[in-house]
Chains A and B, each alone.
Chain A
Amino acid sequence: MAYALQQLINGLTLGAMYGLIAIGYTMVYGIIGMINFAHGDIFMVSAFIAITAFTILAAADVTSIPLALTFVLIVSIFFTSAYGWAVERTAYRPLRGSTRLAPLISAIGMSIFLQNTVQLTQGARVKPIPPVLEGGIVLWDNPTFTVQIGWSQLLIIVTTVILMTGFTWMITQTPFGRQQRACEQDRTMASLLGVNVDRTISYTFMLGAALAAVAGVMVTVYYGVVDFFIGFLAGIKAFTAAVLGGIGSLPGAMLGGLLIGLIESFWAAYLWAEYKDVATFSILCLVLMLRPSGLLGRPEVEKV
């Protein structure tokens, strides 16, 4: 029981991170209908930026943890959004309006390019940093097993909840959110009504990258190690989460992320840890077979 509770906490933490990345996929898919394959690598870039920022802070003898975290978050969000913008501008915008496969190939190329850029400029080796947040709250002191929620886990969950609240408000209440949703429904019509579609799409990419940047900082704080390959698997799982929740649906992406995180933790804890990726994908297949529009997605009606 105590063990299960601990897995629940771990799973929620993992799921919150997947959810943050999944939102980037789901928003981009919603607005231009393509799988942004490079999104996982944007997340990886942000983790590297976080590592560099933490190291600079350590060199500058900054000991206040809240100050350090705020600084790293701001720096990481700024630079990662720039990457998100640049990727859209160079690799996807020239391909708007061409075949469905062309942007996908371009995205795969971009993903390979980003991975290798980071490998070349930052080195191929795993980068460890000393733990930023240690300790946590002991929830249940069992004689055999102690259930504990780490400060970093708490940070991740709380940050995600705050971000999601703010994000939902932004999409539903602000002028930008309205434009974003308008473009999602009908790009031609939105542009006829005076919405700057290109700019909205750019902002969408930047927003997705910013959320991925938060996830990147969180991963750095939580695991303390980063390498240039983390983007691939995290990206695929986050995409799985987006599909599971119903692609194009924002609450769906979060729900999907949490479910994938929980499934992965429990599978690794009780079944075979080495096959946890298989579990994720099998569940994806099952969901798609039984409910192709995802848990919260609207079924798509095809008009002839």
Chain B
Amino acid sequence: MSAVVFARHAMTPAERLRDAGWVAFVGLILGVPLIGLTTVDVGGRLGVETRFGLLAAFVAAAFAGRLALRWGIDHMRNRKLAREQASTTTAAQRAHGAQRLVNIVGWVALGASIALPIVYSDNRYVVDTATTVLIYVMLGWGLNVVVGLAGLLDLGYVAFYAVGAYSYALLSTQYGWGFWEALPVSGALAASFGILLGYPILRLRGDYLAIVTLGFGEIIRVILVNWTEFSGGPNGISSIPRPSFFGLEFTRRPAEGEQTFAGFFGLDFSAMHRLIFLYYLILVLALLTHVFVSRLRKLPVGRAWEALREDEIACQAMGMNTTNIKLSAFAIGAMLGGFAGVFFAARQGFISPESFTFTESAIILAIVVLGGMGSQMGVVLAATLLVLIPEFGRNFSEYRMLLFGAAMVLIMVWKPGGLLSHREPTVRLQATGAAASDKEGAR
């Protein structure tokens, strides 16, 4: 069915005003109960307070904003149309060019992220924020396996993050395990939780899957809050040991018979050493994740994930074992989430169920979807954006989450496929004999 395109007639100024007036009217109706009126505590009882000045400002802003937006959209559309008519390149060529640009940006970003702590070696805030971005990048890449590649919508990803964080916290505080010993064990534990969750719900379709995973995330959180003997309840677990640099601690004074990092390298002690070390640690973990996932995509299992995302019934008809494919996606995604959790616990030194709420899952999912599902660079871009939006909003801190929610809606409406929505095929059909061997491998 071919789409019918109607030519848009240019709007007259009167139409624009009517359109904006209509929006302002809706804004007035929506604004009256929440902005125009509010209840305040007056001597133990509630009293009503009116804010009609604010309401008038809101309605005026809605009117002006709609006028500007409408005009901007029309303007952009005309320019895009003119450009498309003028340009002679094909869509495929443009996509190829975009892909090359993304690759170049990727290498530049890698260079910048390696150089960042050297440039900002005395700026604690920048390094800290960059570390947070990288944690989200890693989580995004982990969830990308489940959502972006295998097409399984997971709204409870934070559960695996929590499993990783709590298993490191418990192993280190109760049994004295080190970071490097606990890392693989916690990852394996998170992966087995992934299989545990994945197994019973494999038969479910997309949206049911979403809601069950959401429920699973909440169950884990409720258990962490209420099972006080095990997890410390709402107080969480504190004084989790920090990772060391091959046995060298980042402390001012060495422990009995040990050496500190600063002492070993003959440096003056600085609290920044640990932050920079943590930054590089998560950078290495994230890059390993990236290489791991990129490699997996080229293996049979990775191709099977993408096939499953495109058409499950066709996969079954081809004789693929969908159970194993889904489970492997769940397990690997969960394992990567678990690694990120271990790092999170080691970095914070303190964890509580507060850090593992549904909002966190929503943010990670938003990173994957906003970035363009399945796109590794898109995840980086979206993670940077979503961490930095609240950070820039810190000056007017009560508006951060408001901006965050609005940004999620706006980016989706603007680019429903995500920021980097172009999808490069993992396997190309070639005329040479290589294609035959490729197909062999894809099974």
Contact = CB atoms under 8 A, between A and B. Distances in A.
A82 B29 contact: yes
Interface stretch (B136-144, B213-221, B341-349): B213-221
A281 B216 contact: yes
A120 B204 contact: no
A288 B34 contact: no
Contacts of B225: 274
Contacts of B222: 274-275, 277-278
Contacts of B30: 79, 82-83, 86
Contacts of B210: 35, 104
Contacts of B212: 281, 284-285, 288
The listed residue with most A CB atoms (<10 A of its CB), out of B38, B203, B405, B417, is B405
B275 to A, nearest CB: 30
Interface stretch (B328-336, B364-372, B431-439): B364-372
A52 B218 contact: no
Contact of B46 (A75, A109, A127): A127
A292 B226 CA distance: 30
B38 A102 contact: no
Interface stretch (A88-96, A158-166, A204-212, A255-263): A88-96
A112 interface: yes
A139 interface: no
A289 B200 contact: yes
Contacts of A111: 405
Contact of A51 (B46, B219, B362, B416): B46
A227 B152 CA distance: 33
Given A52-B33, A112-B404, A122 B416 contact: no
B317 to A, nearest CB: 8
B157 to A, nearest CB: 13
Interface in B412-436: 412-413, 416-417
B441 interface: no
A105 B398 contact: no
B39 A109 contact: no
A3 to B, nearest CB: 24
Contacts of A118: 34
B52 interface: no
Contact of A90 (B32, B48, B207, B409): B409
The listed residue with most A CB atoms (<10 A of its CB), out of B26, B35, B416, is B416
B193 interface: no
A241 B121 CA distance: 53
Contact of A285 (B39, B215, B223, B359): B215
Q: Interface SS of chain B: helix, strand, loop or mixed?
A: helix
B284 interface: no
Contacts, number: 185
A113 B409 contact: yes
Interface stretch (A9-17, A194-202, A232-240): A232-240
A4 B369 CA distance: 47
A257 B9 CA distance: 49
Interface string A122-150: 11010111100000000000000000000
A105 B39 contact: no
Q: Give the size category of A's interface with B.
A: 35 or more
Interface string B156-187: 00000000000000000000000000000000
Contacts of A75: 33
A55 B39 contact: yes
Given A82-B29, A113-B402, A116-B402, A48 B34 contact: yes
B35 A121 contact: yes
Contacts of B207: 29, 33-35, 247
Contacts of A51: 39, 46
B37 interface: yes
B293 interface: no
A98 interface: yes
A83 B41 CA distance: 26
A193 interface: no
Interface residues of B, number: 62
A216 B48 CA distance: 19
Contacts of A103: 412
A106 B409 contact: yes
Given A105-B408, A121-B34, A281-B218, A98 B417 contact: yes
A191 interface: no
Interface string A39-71: 000000100110110011011000000000000
B45 interface: yes
B417 A106 contact: no
A232 B405 contact: no
Interface in A270-302: 272, 274-275, 277-278, 280-282, 284-285, 288-289, 292, 300, 302
Contact of B401 (A91, A94, A112): A112
Given A121-B34, A122-B38, A278-B219, A98 B201 contact: no
A33 B205 CA distance: 12
Given A99-B416, A123-B38, A109 B29 contact: no
B48 A59 contact: yes
B38 A120 contact: no
Interface in B334-389: 358-359, 362, 365-366, 369-370, 373
Given A98-B416, A99-B416, A288-B208, A49 B33 contact: yes
B204 A288 contact: yes
B386 to A, nearest CB: 11
Nearest to A76: B33
Contacts of B288: none
B304 interface: no
B352 to A, nearest CB: 16
Given A86-B30, A99-B417, A284 B408 contact: no
A239 B147 CA distance: 21
Contacts of B26: 82, 86
20 contacts: A45-B34, A48-B33, A95-B413, A101-B369, A106-B412, A109-B406, A109-B407, A109-B409, A113-B409, A121-B34, A121-B35, A122-B38, A122-B39, A127-B39, A236-B215, A236-B218, A275-B226, A281-B218, A282-B219, A292-B208
Pick the 7 closest A-B CB pairs, nearest first.
A109-B408, A113-B405, A112-B405, A281-B215, A98-B416, A116-B402, A102-B416
Interface of B: 26, 29-30, 32-35, 37-41, 45-48, 147, 153, 200-201, 203-208, 210-212, 214-216, 218-219, 222-223, 225-226, 313-314, 358-359, 362, 365-366, 369-370, 373, 398-399, 401-402, 404-409, 412-413, 416-417
Given A35-B207, A59-B48, A98-B417, 16 more contacts: A34-B207, A52-B39, A58-B46, A79-B32, A83-B30, A91-B413, A106-B413, A109-B366, A109-B406, A110-B409, A116-B405, A121-B38, A125-B41, A302-B313, A304-B313, A304-B314
